[in-house]
């Protein structure tokens, strides 16, 4: 009965299995080809304690590139980089139109880019270098190496792309290194996921609104009813056995909270990936809990009379204790606000924050241009999680098509502005050198 109630109202939505955190399709697309390469990077960019280095993977394609053309640089997020390359068709299509090189850089501690190999998650002495700051430094180092080693890239403007956590990174790399990055597309980037920056109820309420829109009121009511039914059934041994068989659990259920947690993640995921066409997902992210316990701490709660999620409170102290018990670390919740500007982002330029309005993560993103008057905000109706970065599809809503065109025109503008500045810089450097020569000749 419970399962039937839930599944019945999910039929109008396109979905597949994913964990809650920032999913990507695992379907490979043979249309996108690339060379797989590696570069050396320091384990620690910001101290002199550890001088060790390790390899980070990156993917590159220069088939459409012409010398001086742009570099489209994807700031890899939490997963093997091939997955992102094969599911960011908009970047590939645009590279053909604008004669760009395409680079996808893997995030440290993901895929095969492991600083300590199989010991990378052994303890905090090993996983303590899993931070956004270190990853951004990796990416800038790679950009500098490419420009230094290949003369055809010397004057190339770099446009950063990213979706989800990768979108956060693309925004931050433009903020932190504007001398390296001409502009950035930050798609579905929850840059305000940190404690105190957004309503912890925002994710669950946006997910609820998505279900109301596509499933209707009865759908939401049935889901709300299911939570108490699960708890009631799970109070007895026979009830736990029934739930074990109903949800096809590998080991006998001992705590119904496990089922509730799983279904909550499942519902959040469905609203995230409600694409206008079928998409298969399967992505485990064992590294992400470590990251949330250090810097990506994300308060999640659920309340209100109309909410598809079970009632949930979030407490920083309890979360910190859990992190200490599990990983031996406690979150530094104030530092990311300092490092990544909190809500004092009014001076940033050349960034597009694009949000799908049915994506729950949009509640933790920048959705109002008043916060970023010199940047661009695009709120895309009927769009799910970073749909604008995916391969253009005949089923795409007009809102997504329009958003991609805005992004394209902004990128063209950034490229032109960067090239003008580059030429002016060369001109003034030439004058400076000439004056120095005259002074020398005396």
- What pLDDT is stored for residue 22 in this prediction? 39
- Rounded CA-CA distance 54/108 in Å is 10
- What pLDDT is stored for residue 15 in this prediction? 32
- What pLDDT is stored for residue 270 in this prediction? 86
How much is the mean pLDDT over the chain? Answer: 90
Co-location of 165 and 286 in the same domain: no
CATH code of the domain containing 82? 3.40.50.1820
- Distance from the Cα of residue 282 to its chain's centroid: 16
Co-location of 46 and 177 in the same domain: yes
Q: Are strands 101-105 and 53-61 parallel, antiparallel or unpaired?
A: antiparallel
Domain membership flag for residue 29: no
User: Angle at the Cα of 183 (from 178 to 186), degrees rounded to 5?
Assistant: 110
Count structural domains, the chain: 2
pLDDT over 60 (residue 291): yes
Domain membership flag for residue 10: yes
Residues in the chain: 442
pLDDT over 80 (residue 229): yes
Co-location of 255 and 314 in the same domain: yes
Segment 186-207 shows an average pLDDT of 97
Segment 265-289 shows an average pLDDT of 76
Co-location of 55 and 177 in the same domain: yes
Co-location of 369 and 275 in the same domain: no
Q: Which one of 336, 354, 369 terminates a domain?
A: 336
Co-location of 171 and 186 in the same domain: yes
Segment 48-57 shows an average pLDDT of 96
Co-location of 267 and 207 in the same domain: yes
Co-location of 10 and 90 in the same domain: no
Co-location of 188 and 41 in the same domain: yes
pTM: 0.91
Segment 49-72 shows an average pLDDT of 97
C-alpha count within 13 angstroms, C-beta hemisphere, residue 308? 34
CB contact set of 345 (below 8 Å; sequence gap of 6+):
175, 366, 371, 372, 375
Q: What is the pLDDT of residues 354-405, one digit of tens each?
A: 999 999 999 999 999 999 999 999 999 999 999 999 999 999 999 999 999 9
Query: Which positions are annotated as active-site residues?
Result: 164, 359, 385
What is the pLDDT confidence band of residue 269, given thresholds at 50, 70 and 90?
confident
Domain membership flag for residue 95: yes
Burial of 100 (0-12, 13-18, 19+ CB in 10 A): buried
Domain membership flag for residue 214: yes
CATH code of the domain containing 287? 1.20.120
Domain membership flag for residue 440: no
- Rounded CA-CA distance 301/204 in Å is 7
Co-location of 243 and 352 in the same domain: no
Share of the chain above pLDDT 90, in %: 81
Co-location of 247 and 185 in the same domain: no
- What pLDDT is stored for residue 436 in this prediction? 80
Domain membership flag for residue 409: yes
Q: Which one of 289, 313, 336 terminates a domain?
A: 336
According to the 3-state scheme, what is the secondary structure of the chain? CHHHHHHHHHCCCCCCCCCCCCCCECCCCCCCCCEEEEEEEECCCCCCCCCCEEEEEEEEECCCCCCCCCEEEEECCCCCHHHHHCCCHHHHHHHHHHCCEEEEECCCCCCCCCCCHHHCCCCHHHHCCCCHHHHHHHHHHHHHHHHHHCHHHCCCCEEEEEECHHHHHHHHHHHHCCCCCCEEEEECCCCCCCCCCCCCCHHHHHHHHHHHHHCCHHHHHHHHHHHHHHHHHCCCHHHHHHHHHHCCCCCCCCCHHHHHHHHHHHHHHHHHCCCCCCCCECCCCCCHHHHHHHCCCCCCCECCCCCCCCCECCCHHHHHHHHHHHHCCCCCCCHHHHHCCCCCCCCCCCEEEEEECCCHHHHHCCCCCCCCCCCEEEEECCCCCCHHHCCCCCCCCHHHHHHHHHHHHHHHHHHHHHHHHHHHHHHHHHHHHHHHHHHHHC
- What pLDDT is stored for residue 278 in this prediction? 75
Q: Which one of 286, 312, 336 terminates a domain?
A: 336
Q: Which domain holds residue 408?
A: 35-192+345-422
Segment 106-114 shows an average pLDDT of 97
Which of 147, 149, 134 has the alpha carbon at shortest distance from 182?
A: 147
Domain membership flag for residue 428: no
Q: What is the pLDDT of residues 321-354, one digit of tens each?
A: 999 999 999 999 999 999 998 999 999 999 999 9
What is the pLDDT confidence band of residue 27, given thresholds at 50, 70 and 90?
very low
What is the pLDDT confidence band of residue 427, given thresholds at 50, 70 and 90?
confident
Domain membership flag for residue 439: no
Is the separation of the CB atoms in 418 and 394 below 8 Å?
no
Co-location of 379 and 262 in the same domain: no
């Amino acid at each position: 009965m419970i399962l039937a109630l839930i599944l019945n109202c999910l039929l109008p939505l396109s979905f597949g299995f994913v964990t809650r955190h920032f999913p990507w399709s695992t379907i490979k697309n043979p249309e996108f080809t690339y060379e797989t390469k590696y570069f050396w990077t320091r384990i620690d960019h910001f101290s002199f304690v550890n001088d060790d280095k390790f390899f980070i993977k990156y993917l590159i394609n220069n088939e459409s590139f012409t010398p001086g053309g742009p570099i489209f640089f994807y700031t890899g997020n939490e997963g093997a980089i091939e997955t992102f390359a094969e599911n960011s068709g908009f970047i590939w299509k645009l590279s053909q139109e604008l004669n760009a090189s395409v680079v996808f850089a893997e995030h440290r501690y993901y895929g095969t880019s492991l600083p300590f190999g199989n010991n990378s998650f052994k303890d905090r002495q090993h996983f303590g270098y899993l931070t956004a700051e270190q990853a951004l430094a990796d990416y800038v180092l790679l950009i500098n190496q490419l420009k230094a080693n290949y003369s055809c890239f010397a004057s190339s403007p770099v446009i950063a792309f990213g979706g989800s956590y990768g979108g956060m990174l693309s925004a931050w790399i433009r903020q932190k290194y504007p001398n390296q990055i001409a502009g950035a597309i930050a798609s579905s980037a929850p840059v305000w996921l940190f404690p105190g920056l957004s309503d912890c109820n925002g994710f669950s309420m946006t997910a609820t609104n998505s279900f109301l829109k596509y499933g209707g009121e009865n759908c939401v009511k049935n889901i709300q009813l299911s939570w108490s039914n699960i708890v009631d059934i799970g109070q007895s041994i026979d009830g736990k056995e029934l739930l074990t068989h109903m949800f096809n659990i590998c080991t006998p259920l001992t705590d119904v909270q496990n089922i509730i947690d799983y279904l909550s993640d499942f519902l959040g995921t469905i609203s995230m990936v409600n694409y206008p066409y079928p998409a298969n997902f399967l992505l485990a992210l064992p590294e992400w809990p470590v990251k949330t316990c250090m810097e990506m701490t994300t308060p999640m709660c659920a309340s209100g009379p109309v909410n598809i999620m079970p009632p949930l409170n979030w407490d920083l102290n309890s979360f910190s204790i859990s992190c200490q018990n599990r990983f031996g670390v406690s979150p530094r919740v104030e530092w990311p606000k300092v490092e990544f500007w909190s809500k004092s982002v009014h001076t940033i330029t050349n960034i597009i924050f694009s949000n799908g309005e049915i994506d729950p993560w949009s509640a933790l993103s920048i959705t109002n241009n008043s916060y970023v008057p010199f940047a661009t905000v695009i709120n895309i109706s009927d769009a799910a999680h970073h749909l604008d970065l995916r391969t253009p599809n005949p089923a795409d809503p007009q809102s997504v098509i329009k958003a991609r065109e805005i992004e394209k025109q902004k990128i063209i503008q950034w490229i032109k502005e960067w090239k003008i500045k580059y030429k002016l810089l060369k001109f003034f450097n030439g004058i400076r050198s000439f004056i120095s020569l005259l002074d020398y000749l005396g």
